[in-house]
Amino acid sequence: MERDLYFAFASVCSGTAGDIDPSSRAVRKYTKDVLPLTDDAPASASPRRNRLILLALWFFFYASFTLLTPPLLDDADSVHSEVAREMLVRHDWVTLYANGIRYLEKAPLLYWSMATSFKLFGVHTATARLPLALTVLALALAMEIFARRAFNSVRAGLYAGLILLSSFGIFIFTRITIPDVMVCLWLTLSLLCYWLTEQLDLNFSGDNSSGAPFIAALPRWAGDNSLRLLCWGFAACCALNVLTKGLIGIVFPVLIVLAHLLLTRGIRGTLMRLRQLCPISSIVVFLAIAAPWHILIALANPSQGNPGHLAFIHGHWSVPGPTQGNVHGWLWFYFVNEQVLRYLNLRVPRDYDTVPLVLFWGLLLVWLMPWSAYLFKALGQIEWRAAIVSCPIFTKAKWLQRRLGHPGEIALLTPAESTRLLLGIWAALPMLFFSFSTRQEYYVLPTLPALILLIAAWLADEADEAEAFTVPNRLVVAGQRISVVLLVLGSVAALVAGFFVLHSQPLGPNADLAMILKQNPGDYALSFGHFLDLDTRAMGAFRTPLIMTVIALFGGTLLNYLLRRDYKPHAANLWLAAATFGFLLAAHLGLQIFAPVLSSYKLAMAVAPQLKPDDLIVIHGEYESGSTLGFYLQRNDIHILNGRSSNLWYGSFFPDAPPIFEDNESIRLKWLGVRRVFLWQDLDQPTPALPGTIFFIAQSGGKEILSNQASPY
């Protein structure tokens, strides 16, 4: 019935466009019970209600059970948490330490937030994850505000928040305590401040041709000082981003703003606009926030001895490695080694892998699924050609004007087109930046907010078009076609998941998942390389999350198709969001099942009742392999056997570094001593040749704890 009414009104509107307005009060009154128009749509009723919906979803998926489970994982997750814990232990909030050794490669803001959480609520798994959970909440609310104001649509704000919270990339990379979601927050807020300054310029210039909604979107406190406050807000967000991730915290927002200004104003207009944006006072604000920590840590960690210099020899760069007592200070290591040389793939030590370029770009679709199905339509709304044609830089390039089909015509961008251009530049720049560098899976994240805003705007326009009976209804038809593609892909993925459910056997209650995995150690330098170990047999441990995945993928895409077929794209979007959240539940349950392979938490709990302050804990291999022992046993003096590498490598060459590194000879001497030794051991590694008796303490996740003394229990 709804579809018949839609075509009836569409035919009337197309045949008598001069007589009947599809948005007229009569048409609205007749159709409000069938397909309510934008002003009557429940999603557009109240921004406050939408924010409450987002708050409730955030609390359930990011601030409840997901804070508590799974336990922290080995490597970055527990290393970063331990760095924050040692801030409190050492009462040093300037120099970062991991396991008692200088940890100079990271910016401090994530660790400050985690240490503050520990100080207020105690050292626990949940308090380690709380700062990132709050970051996601702030980002979701910022996205809601940005979309609602930029596109003059309450519904777009709701969609932006829903897509952000249901993004697989945002969810999975907040299961690990890494700062990249914080980068997304500061980048979003800084560009929101810039966008608002552009709306102020429209207001003050009197350009009201198509910008009324944008002028109305200005904050209520806007007044004589609003431009200055927004510029200072931009500078403050850039400074906080620098304290979160280093130089990209200022490089990304500044390059995005410059590119947008150049395309919309030209070189002369850009210089004039920059002079209006309070550059001197903004630089002062930036330095006041960002500079103190950089100065203090540089003074606290100067170069030691004669560390050598970077040299270009025989056509290649030679990066000096540290030796005991001869090591560059923080200034060189942090800015040159970690920022410049890492970008050029010359960083020392070379303890990381890089994602292939095609996979790096393809991960955009994965981290935004299923919303990435609408990505290309959303990107298609960016007026790249009009932006180039209207740019004063290219007005004299007649060949370019003819090639773009606008000879002699200067087409000014509307405010809506300028906003989409800004988002397009924002989405492209981080991806292009990392395309020429080493890259990890999560380096995609700074691009996601821009793409989410573009997708939210397209979905809102599609829903408005369906409810307004617009003819021709290109967006509605496109949405229906995309829903067919999604249904096919969702069905195929559900069939694959169902295949594993039907052809795998459940594991026994005491089975160790690590014992049946196919080892691929060459992939472990990637963030989730261990998941590549899964095979058909191992999938038996994941039957429940696989069943949930089947329901979410097939049920969500089927309802999305049926509702869009009936011209109800808003309801279809809500059901698609519900299915995506269901998939996040399945992903979380799967991570919880896989956690024993990725974490040494169970081993730490087995050791804890027996551990005395004088006992020695030794990790055979790199510290990161069993780093959860340090956090959960609250020990910052773990010894390392044959594993002087990775995060502890550089700091271990400072003269005051504790002597925690063992070799085969030193561990034999300690094994025969009166001091009790707990040895963490990966079962894939050969056990070192130890004298005397070896006592087994515990085993979990392909790892075990051995000791030189029997358990007293």
Q: What is the pLDDT of residue 471?
A: 77
Counting the structural domains of the chain, the total is: 4
More confident residue, 211 or 115: 115
Q: Cα-atom radius of gyration of the chain, to the nearest Å?
A: 28
pLDDT tens digits along 615-637: 999 999 999 999 999 999 999 99
Give the strand pairing for 616-620 and 639-641. parallel
Q: How high is the pLDDT of residue 695?
A: 95
Q: Are residues 423 and 290 in the same domain?
A: yes
Instruction: Using the predicted structure, report yes or no on whether residue 104 has a pLDDT greater than 90.
Output: yes
Q: What is the pLDDT of residue 40?
A: 40
pLDDT at 8 over 70: no
| pLDDT for 99 beyond 50 | yes
> Is 484 in the same domain as 573?
yes
**Where does the pLDDT of residue 537 fall: very low under 50, low under 70, confident under 90, or very high at 90 and above?**
confident
Predicted confidence at residue 222, as pLDDT, reads 52
pLDDT in tens, 651-665: 999 999 999 999 999
411 and 483 part of one domain: no
Q: Residue 412 gets which letter from DSSP? A: P
Task: Give the whole-angstrom CA distance, residue 102 versus residue 650.
Answer: 8
**Averaged over 83-99, what is the pLDDT?**
97
> What percentage of the chain carries pLDDT values higher than 90?
67
Q: Give the pLDDT band (50/70/90) at residue 155.
A: very high
The percent of residues above 70 in pLDDT, for the chain, comes to 84
Q: At residue 711, what are phi and psi to the nearest 5 degrees?
A: -70, 135
Parallel/antiparallel/unpaired status of strands 97-98 and 101-102: antiparallel
Mind giving me the DSSP string for 541-574?
GGHHHHHHHHIIIIIHHHHHHHHHHTT-HHHHHH
Q: How confident is residue 41, by pLDDT bands cut at 50, 70 and 90?
A: very low
Same domain, 393 and 458: yes
Instruction: Report helix, strand or coil for 680.
Output: strand
| 539's tokens | 């999938």
- DSSP track, 509-520: TT--GGGGS---
Closest CA to 363 of 437, 302, 435: 435
> 302: buried, middle or exposed (CB in 10 Å: 19+, 13-18, 0-12)?
exposed
Q: If you write DSSP's letter for every residue of 131-180 in order, what string do you get?
A: HHHHHHHHHHHHHHHHHHHHTT-HHHHHHHHHHHHH-HHHHHTTSS--TH
Please check whether residues 387 and 494 belong to one and the same domain.
no
**Nearest partner of 10 among 460, 457, 474, judged by Cα:** 474
Task: For residue 49, count CB atoms less than 10 angstroms from its CB and return exposed for 0-12, middle for 13-18, buried for 19 or more.
Answer: middle
510-524: b (≥16 Cβ within 10 Å) or e: eebbbeebeeeeeeb
pLDDT attached to residue 405: 60
The larger pLDDT score, comparing residue 212 to residue 293, is at 293
Tally DSSP H helices, then E strands, for the chain.
29, 10
Question: Which value, to the nearest 10 degrees, does the dihedral of the CA atoms of residues 336, 337, 340, 342 take?
Answer: 180
Could you say which of 445, 468, 491 is where a domain stops?
468
Instruction: Determine the pLDDT at residue 242.
Output: 98
Give tens-digit pLDDT for 180-200: 999 999 999 999 999 999 998
Is 341 among the domain residues? no
For residues 214 and 152, the model is more confident at: 152
Say if residue 463 is in the same domain as residue 606: no
Please calculate the CA angle 672-674-675 and round it to the nearest 5 degrees.
100
| 348 or 490: which leads in pLDDT | 490
Reference 106, options 168, 170, 172, 183; nearest CA is: 183
Place of tokens 């085993």: 699
Question: Which tokens sit at 157?
Answer: 């704000």
In a domain, 97, yes or no: no
Q: Which residue has the higher pLDDT, 250 or 221?
A: 250
267 and 160 in a single domain? The answer is yes
Pick from 682, 675, 670, 669: nearest CA to 623 = 682
Residue 88 domain-assigned (yes or no): no
pLDDT greater than 80 at residue 316: no
288 compared with 337, residue with greater pLDDT: 288
In this structure, is residue 85 part of a structural domain?
no
Domain boundary at 597, 619, 640, which?
Answer: 597
Task: Give the pLDDT score at 400.
Answer: 61
Residues 425 and 419: their CA atoms lie apart, in Å, by 10
**Least confident span in 39-43, 366-370, 597-601:** 39-43
Q: Could you say which of 577, 597, 617 is where a domain stops?
A: 597
pLDDT category at 428 given cuts 50, 70, 90 is very high
| Residue 135 or 263, more confident | 135
Q: What is the pLDDT of residue 395?
A: 64
**Alpha helical stretches, state H, 346-414:** 357-367, 375-380, 384-390, 398-404
Whether the pLDDT of residue 127 is over 70: the answer is yes
Q: Mark whether 238 and 288 lie in a shared domain.
A: yes
Confidence of residue 435 (pLDDT cuts 50, 70, 90): very high
Residue 373: pLDDT band by 50, 70, 90 thresholds?
very high
Question: What pLDDT, on a 0 to 100 scale, did the predictor assign at position 632?
Answer: 97
Q: Is residue 151 in some structural domain?
A: yes
Question: Does position 430 have pLDDT exceeding 80, yes or no?
Answer: yes
Same domain as 55, residue 174: yes
**Of 210-219, 414-423, 502-511, 586-595, where does mean pLDDT reach its minimum?**
210-219
With cut-offs at 50, 70 and 90, classify the pLDDT of residue 531: low
**pLDDT score, position 38:** 40
pLDDT at residue 443 above 80?
Answer: yes
Same-domain pairing of 369 and 512: no
The boundaries of the domain holding residue 645 are 602-707
| pLDDT number for residue 520 | 54
So what's the pLDDT on residue 32?
36
91 domain-assigned: no
Asked whether residue 570 is assigned to any structural domain, the reply reads yes
Q: 145 and 6 in one domain? A: no
Q: 255-264, 307-316, 406-415 — which one is most confidently predicted on average? A: 255-264
Residues 406 and 504 in one domain: no
Residue type, 180: D
Residue 319 falls inside a structural domain: no
The pLDDT value recorded for residue 637 is 95
Sequence-distant (6+) residues with CB within 8 A of 74 are 598, 599, 600, 624, 625, 626, 627, 628
Q: What is the rounded average pLDDT of the residues 562-573?
A: 96
